[in-house]
């Protein structure tokens, strides 16, 4: 028997299906016409994601293109939380292998994200150990990590880059915009379970950073640091500094401070060890500053090398202060006043010149202002205007008191005497180059001003040669090469007032060879014990560095001639 369908029932069914069809048709139109772009973006977001491509940070080379800071391949671990089936196992395994805190891993894995970092910059061994576990939801991205092959060598000058290859200190910070490069972009495809499938074509390739070529010579830097370590440890010093400079160009060939630190693990050291004392620390220089007073006197023709000065047998009254010499000198020729480092003789020279003349020459030598070397953290030191001098300042400033300098300023100052009387601007970067070796930017020697006449500089070289051969710098005397320089021993200021009788800054500044100067060297040791005289503590360092650096430069010069076409 066939079922009986009434017109009413048929109409209801027909209306129902027509309404259902109309609903789906309208829904389809809505999706296709009104929500198409939104749903396309949603699908793209679910199945693709953009990834930043890290550029290669530029290398830092020494002047002979020996690498001082490089990049090494490394791997970073990330997770896709929805893909992880067993959080407990992942937490346990990563805690055991990488030492990550369990709470840290758990917090990361419970984030409502498709991508979370777990560990950055892992080495190849760590990556392989994790891959063997075959844990769901864990993946690797190849990156690079900054590495310093010489660990502590030139650490304060170079500085270091952080986890994201961004410069944080030193030249890494100063030249970060050149070294860092520009990131690129690509995107990855994922399946319905959000698992990565493949990396598509790169949308924008990264632009690698430029490289730096420094004025520093790796071998000279090693020689300087080797000798600095010896004196720092021998005299149980609070700190130590050394600068080696090309007297003709102002190029810094070596620069080091103690204490030091390993660039590959900077966080393991206190901030005190990371301070670049060569440019950040200023101090009263003591007797090394007498070269300024002596140079001014000769340049103004107020004295000749043989002119006699009475040194008052060791005690001399300046206003309400009595000035003393270490030894009781009577009449001394100008040359020996400086060679024997007489405070009284130097003060009498300054009194004849006048306060303004002494101040102006100190300023002409570059004291009281930054050297503009390009080294981060450099300070200007202190050189008071004459209007702020007291009645006793004429007996203090000329012998290196009431004035503050940096080790780099001392090296630049002594270079004036070595190169014929010209003040050069120190610099530490020779060029910025691309990965093909093409020069993007070059840095050339820059003359700041002429300070002394050539004959004055020649006379001062005679004075400082005598100071090493017969004067207070005798422990710098060399059998291999003639050397010239000046000793300095300065009492440190006591926080309670006045000068300390137990804390000193020992120093020596000089150049080599004395008869044809190539390099200038400044050595400063902070609070050496038990000996504290610059002629005892620092002069031997100057001698050792000068001898070995000149020998190296001679051998390097011969080698370059032999390989020349």
CB within 8 Å of 501: residues ≥ 6 apart? 491
Q: Which of 175, 256, 170 is nearest to 209 (CA)?
A: 175
Q: Where are the beta strands (DSSP E) in 209-329?
A: 211-214, 239-246, 252-258, 308-310, 315-318, 321-324
Report helix, strand and coil shares of the chain as percent, to nearest 5.
40, 25, 35
- Whole-number Å distance between alpha carbons of 148 and 125: 20
- In 3-state terms, what secondary structure has residue 348? helix
| Residue 287 annotated to the active site | yes
Burial class (CB in 10 A: 0-12, 13-18, 19+), 516: exposed
Q: SS3 sequence, 66-104?
A: CEEEEEEEEEEEEECHHHCCCHHHHHHHHHHHHCCCHHH
Burial code (b: 16+ CB inside 10 Å, e: under 16) for 15-41 equals: eeeeeeeeeeeeeeeeeeeeeeeeeee
In the 8-state DSSP scheme, what is residue 207?
B
- Whole-number Å distance between alpha carbons of 350 and 18: 112
- In 3-state terms, what secondary structure has residue 379? coil
Strand 67-79 and strand 138-147: the pairing is: antiparallel
Query: Which residue intervals of 235-366 are DSSP H helices?
Result: 271-274, 277-280, 290-299, 334-339, 343-353, 355-364
H or E stretch including 554?
helix 539-563
Query: Which residue intervals of 159-261 are DSSP H helices?
Result: 170-174, 176-179, 218-234
- Whole-number Å distance between alpha carbons of 101 and 85: 20
Contact in structure between 185 and 52 (CB atoms under 8 Å): yes
Which of 76, 155, 287, 393 is an active site residue?
287
Structure tokens at 352: 């004849």
Contact in structure between 399 and 286 (CB atoms under 8 Å): yes
Contact in structure between 459 and 305 (CB atoms under 8 Å): yes
- Whole-number Å distance between alpha carbons of 55 and 161: 14
Query: Which residue intervals of 110-161 are DSSP H helices?
Result: 124-133, 155-158
- Whole-number Å distance between alpha carbons of 526 and 504: 7
So which residues are the catalytic ones? 287
């Amino acid at each position: 028997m066939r079922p009986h369908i009434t017109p009413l029932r048929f109409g209801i069914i027909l209306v129902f299906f027509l309404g259902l069809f109309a609903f789906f048709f309208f829904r389809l139109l809505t999706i296709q016409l009104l929500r198409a772009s939104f749903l396309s973006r949603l699908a793209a977001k679910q199945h693709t994601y953009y990834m930043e491509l890290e550029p290669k940070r530029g290398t830092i080379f020494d002047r002979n293109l020996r690498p001082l800071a490089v990049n090494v391949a490394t791997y970073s671990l990330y997770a896709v939380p929805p893909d992880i089936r067993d959080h407990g196992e992942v937490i346990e395994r990563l805690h055991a292998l990488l030492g990550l805190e369990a709470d840290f891993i758990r917090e990361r894995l419970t984030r409502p994200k498709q991508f979370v970092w777990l560990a950055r910059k892992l080495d190849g061994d760590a990556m392989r150990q994790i891959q063997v576990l075959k844990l769901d939801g864990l993946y690797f991205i190849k990156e690079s990590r900054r590495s310093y092959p010489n660990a502590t060598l030139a650490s304060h000058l170079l500085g270091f880059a952080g986890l994201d290859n961004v410069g944080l200190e030193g030249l890494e910070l100063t030249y970060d915009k050149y070294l860092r490069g520009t990131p690129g972009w690509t995107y990855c495809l994922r399946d319905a379970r959000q698992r990565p499938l493949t990396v598509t074509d790169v949308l924008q390739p990264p632009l690698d950073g430029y490289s730096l070529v420094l004025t520093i010579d790796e071998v000279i830097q090693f020689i300087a640091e080797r000798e600095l370590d010896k004196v720092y440890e021998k005299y149980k010093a609070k700190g130590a500094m050394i600068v080696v400079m090309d007297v003709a160009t102002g190029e810094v060939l070596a620069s080091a401070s103690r204490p030091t630190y390993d660039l590959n693990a900077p966080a393991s050291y206190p901030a005190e060890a990371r301070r670049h004392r060569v440019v950040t620390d200023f101090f009263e220089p003591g007797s090394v500053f007498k070269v300024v007073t002596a140079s001014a006197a000769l340049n103004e023709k107020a004295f000749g090398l043989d002119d006699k000065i009475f040194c008052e047998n060791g005690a001399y009254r300046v206003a309400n202060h009595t000035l003393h010499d270490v030894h009781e000198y009577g009449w001394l020729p100008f040359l020996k006043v400086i060679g024997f480092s007489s405070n009284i003789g130097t003060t009498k020279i300054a009194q004849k010149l006048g306060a303004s003349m002494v101040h102006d020459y100190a300023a002409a030598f570059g004291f009281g202002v930054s050297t503009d070397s390009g080294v981060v953290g450099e300070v200007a030191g202190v050189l008071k205007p004459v209007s702020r001098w007291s009645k006793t300042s004429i007996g203090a400033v000329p012998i290196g008191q009431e004035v503050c300098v940096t080790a780099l300023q001392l090296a630049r100052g002594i270079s004036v005497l070595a190169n014929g009387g010209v003040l050069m601007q120190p610099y530490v970067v020779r060029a910025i180059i691309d990965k093909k070796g093409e020069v993007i930017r070059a840095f050339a020697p820059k003359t700041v001003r002429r300070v002394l006449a050539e004959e004055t500089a020649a006379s001062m070289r005679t004075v400082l040669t005598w100071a090493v051969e017969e004067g207070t710098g005798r422990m710098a005397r060399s059998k291999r090469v003639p050397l010239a320089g000046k000793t300095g021993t300065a009492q440190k200021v006591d926080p309670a007032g006045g000068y300390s009788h137990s804390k000193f800054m020992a120093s020596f500044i000089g150049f080599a060879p004395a008869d044809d100067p190539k390099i200038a060297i400044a050595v400063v040791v902070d609070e050496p014990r038990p000996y504290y005289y610059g002629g005892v503590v620092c002069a031997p360092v100057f001698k050792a560095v000068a001898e070995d650096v000149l020998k190296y430069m001679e051998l390097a010069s011969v080698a370059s001639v032999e390989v020349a076409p």
